[in-house]
Chain A
Amino acid sequence: MKAKHQRLILAVVAVVALTGSSLLAMSALKDQASYFYAPGDIARQGIPAGAIRLGGMIPMGGIVHQPDGVTIDFTVKDETGTVPVRFRGITPALFKEGSGVVAEGSFVGKTFVATNLLAKHDENYMPPKAAGTEHVTKTLKE
């Protein structure tokens, strides 16, 4: 095989591989682009299928502990929507009423069943949409 041909084949293979992977990325992104939801999005667009992240604020008085001791029901809200959430597990340290939360999971009926409340973060953290809606915790540094 001539060197020229070989280079051509390699170039074609490279282009195919990179195009293939970007197509793969694009199609996966199309499913995932709406991965992060705020309660208002759910109110407007209806309940999404599959695994999503739901981010918002927990209103005061919004957390209810179930008798089994490991299940909690709470609501996540923003200015335009409210979503009921159920979670079984140990809540992160900063999970409390009046603060922001990002829950991962999917909808079962109208209830969002969270498999994970986003891991611990420092006191500066706000879920992106919540930061604009409620007051941001002032830190010692500021």
Chain B
Amino acid sequence: MIAEAGLAALWIAAALALLQFVLGAMGLNDSRAELRAGVRSVAVVQGLFVALAFGLLITCFLRSDMSVKLVVENSHSMKPWLYKFAGTWGNHEGSMLLWVAVLGIAGAAVAIFERRLDDATLVATLAAQALIAFGFYAFLLFASNPFARLNPAPIEGLGLNPLLQDPGLAFHPPTLYLGYVGMSIAFSFAVGALITRKVDAAFARAMRPWVLGAWIFLTLGITAGSYWAYYELGWGGWWFWDPVENASLMPWLAATALLHSVTVLATRDGLRAWTVMLAVVAFSMSMVGTFLVRSGILTSVHSFAVDPTRGSFILALLSLYIGGALALFALRIGTVKEGNQFDLVSREGALVANNLLLSAILGVVVIGTLYPLAAEAISGTKLSVGPPYFNATAGPIALVLVIVMALGPLTRWRRDNLKAVVSRVALPVLICAVALLAMAAFAPPIGILPFLGIVLAIGVGAASLAPLWKRNLRRTPLFTYGMVVSHLGIAVALAGMSTERAFIKETLVAARIGDTANVGPYKIKFLGIEPIAGPNWTALEATLQAQRGDNLPFLMKPQARMFSSPPTETSEAAIATRLDGQLYLVFGKGDGTGRWQLRLWWKPMVTLIWLGGAMIAFGGMLSLIGRMRREWGQNDRKAYGV
């Protein structure tokens, strides 16, 4: 019954989305303004029903209801409950239901909390949101029903891909989806504002928290995904330029550009058309990301390949929404009035440069990701674009972007004096120069890119803190701290990426029990090996003793795991985190004569990469809290007539 109830809830939610769209579209006509009142409540109820449908699917998974096809294909009664739970979205149908559930709940949240937009724009926004949701409901109901039954029901399920049985990956997709779907709200806001011709600062202020929230989740999702690949795949890499990774990077780049341009629009009423355009692009990138990952057209190392007909469905939705939004943009953009003017040397100027550079990176990543698909579709040649392409194109632009990012906050809004800017930049540049000389004198030869990266990270770190210089720290608004923390996070991540590449130490040996090997500052002794059993796997576990100088030795236990359903082997690296880096041990195969392969890495400062990512997201949270506090403060004052 649960599955049928879930399907019914999904149909009702779809019908409500259609109703919400129709009411909204008709209500836009001023003669029928009374219809507008219903749109908000329909949006809330739609959110409730889709949440109910998703909750019921989770229930099916938690109960291991093997009469539901999706549960059979992706779960197993022996699985730990966390992975039964996460298995709900560890597959195509479930993840699409999660997508539309987040969409519906976010729409309900807009309906409940959004009080700044004028009535007509809000109704147009909710109507656009309902139309997006309706497409996805149709997709679920007609092309990928998550509640389909299997008759006769098998006794046991097939299990979940063991690579996905990891707490990091269990929560990775929902985080990314919150980001993707947040972008859909920014998109709906843009469509709403275009329809009612009210692209102005008030619209930007209403849109900004949603953009900021979505961007925080995207940042967290990318950071967590990178760390997951690093520790779970056991190959020690943290970014691969895999299409599935790019699928989350592309919306992030667009969202970052949007976040900065929406700030210009909200505070200075400039960049109106550009901001609307970016909102369309950012959501398009989220859709492209979903399409890439879920269509089955990718040959990714992650390989989530599914049925290509579903790919065509998503592609059709994609072209409908994006094409529609672009057509609306073309029709209406002429009526969007020009915003305020500014000098080229100004905060706005720096933000425009930031936007152009982010767009340029987005462009080369999109080309690199889609070119192989296009080439195959057009000429039938199969080719793959890899890290060398992305490093050669995105790398240099990113370095320039980082410099602009350091300069931007040191300029004034509207108009600035070049000389004054130079004097404000002097100290960070000086610090950078000192770092350059120190590195040239003392650092071992490490290659030009890591070298530049470290120097730049130090300079950018100094410049990021500069906006706090000589300010009253207690009166500095929280969102300024947010910007400082985020920019500092970029410097920290850059430092981590550069030092990891420059100073990494690696030892690869075939060792017998009792042998020792050295890696970086550590001496590793191979103590033994024994079989162990987990809830749904068995493993060989190696015990290694690591000692640094005369410090106390400690034990590390990497494993090679065997899962039976589906039959797969995974390797669980043993990682020890220290203040100055990570010791990363992987245990490989035995050769039958008593020797076992061991791969030992000492990765100095590698944790800075993800610490930086977390700081970027944390800065976003500070900004969001700061903005909301300020607005609530203003609303309270208004309410009390102050």
Contact surface of A with B, Cβ cutoff 8 Å = 1, 3, 6, 9-10, 13-14, 17-18, 20-22, 24-25, 28-29, 31-36, 50-51, 53, 65, 68-70, 88-91, 93-94, 104, 116, 118-125, 127-129, 139-141
Contact = CB atoms under 8 A, between A and B. Distances in A.
Given A21-B360, A89-B599, A36 B384 contact: yes
Contact of A121 (B301, B392, B599): B301
A89 to B, nearest CB: 6
A69 B356 contact: no
Interface string B501-529: 00000001110000000000000000000
A70 B508 contact: yes
Contacts of A88: 508
A3 B341 contact: yes
Interface in B335-368: 338, 341, 343-344, 352, 356-357, 359-361, 363-364, 367-368
B163 interface: yes
A103 to B, nearest CB: 12
Contacts of A1: 343
Interface stretch (B52-60, B423-431, B489-497, B563-571): B563-571
Interface stretch (B124-132, B184-192, B447-455, B589-597): B589-597
A52 to B, nearest CB: 9
Most buried by B among A88, A122, A127: A122
Nearest to A22: B363
Contacts of B392: 24, 28, 31
Interface of B: 73, 158, 161, 163, 229, 233-235, 237, 240, 299, 301-303, 305, 338, 341, 343-344, 352, 356-357, 359-361, 363-364, 367-368, 371, 375, 382-386, 388-389, 392-393, 396-397, 508-510, 566-571, 586, 588-589, 591, 595, 597, 599
A90 B569 CA distance: 13
A69 B568 contact: no
A53 B356 contact: no
Contacts of B385: 29, 32-33, 35
Given A32-B389, A123-B566, A3 B338 contact: yes
A9 B367 contact: no
A106 B266 CA distance: 51
22 contacts: A6-B344, A9-B344, A17-B356, A17-B359, A22-B364, A24-B392, A24-B397, A29-B368, A31-B389, A35-B386, A36-B384, A51-B386, A53-B386, A69-B595, A88-B508, A104-B386, A120-B233, A120-B570, A122-B161, A129-B382, A140-B158, A140-B566
Contact of A21 (B344, B352, B393, B589): B393
Given A93-B569, A122-B566, 13 more contacts: A17-B357, A22-B364, A28-B388, A29-B389, A35-B384, A65-B591, A90-B599, A93-B568, A119-B229, A119-B237, A120-B234, A122-B161, A122-B568
Contacts of B352: 10
B49 to A, nearest CB: 30
A18 B363 contact: yes
Contact of A28 (B363, B375, B389): B389
B510 A70 contact: yes
A132 to B, nearest CB: 10
A24 B364 contact: yes
A89 B235 CA distance: 10
B303 A125 contact: yes
B397 A90 contact: no
Contacts of B240: 119
A88 B507 CA distance: 11
A69 B368 contact: no
Contacts of A29: 367-368, 371, 385, 389
Contact of B382 (A6, A120, A128): A128
A20 B389 contact: no
Given A6-B344, A25-B363, A69 B299 contact: no
Contacts of A32: 385-386, 388-389
B367 A25 contact: yes
A68 B510 contact: yes
A93 B396 CA distance: 36
Given A18-B360, A69-B595, A70-B510, A123 B393 contact: no
Across the A-B interface, the 5 shortest Cβ-Cβ residue pairs: A69-B510, A90-B588, A93-B569, A21-B360, A36-B384
A32 B368 CA distance: 10
A19 to B, nearest CB: 10
Contact of A119 (B233, B375, B393): B233
Nearest to B592: A65
Nearest to B591: A69
A130 to B, nearest CB: 10
Contacts of B567: 123
A84 to B, nearest CB: 20
A68 B357 CA distance: 49
A17 B389 contact: no
Given A25-B363, A25-B393, A116-B235, A14 B356 contact: yes
Given A32-B388, A36-B383, A120-B163, A70 B597 contact: yes
A128 B299 contact: yes
A122 B367 contact: no
A21 B364 contact: yes
Contacts of A139: 566
Contacts of B73: 141
Contacts of A121: 301-303
A121 B595 CA distance: 26
B341 A90 contact: no
B589 to A, nearest CB: 7
B510 A93 contact: no
Most buried by A among B158, B299, B364: B299
Contacts of A120: 163, 233-234, 570
Nearest to A34: B383
B589 A90 contact: yes
B344 A35 contact: no
A80 to B, nearest CB: 15
Contacts of B397: 21, 24
A6 B341 contact: yes
Contacts of A24: 364, 392-393, 396-397
A6 B570 CA distance: 58
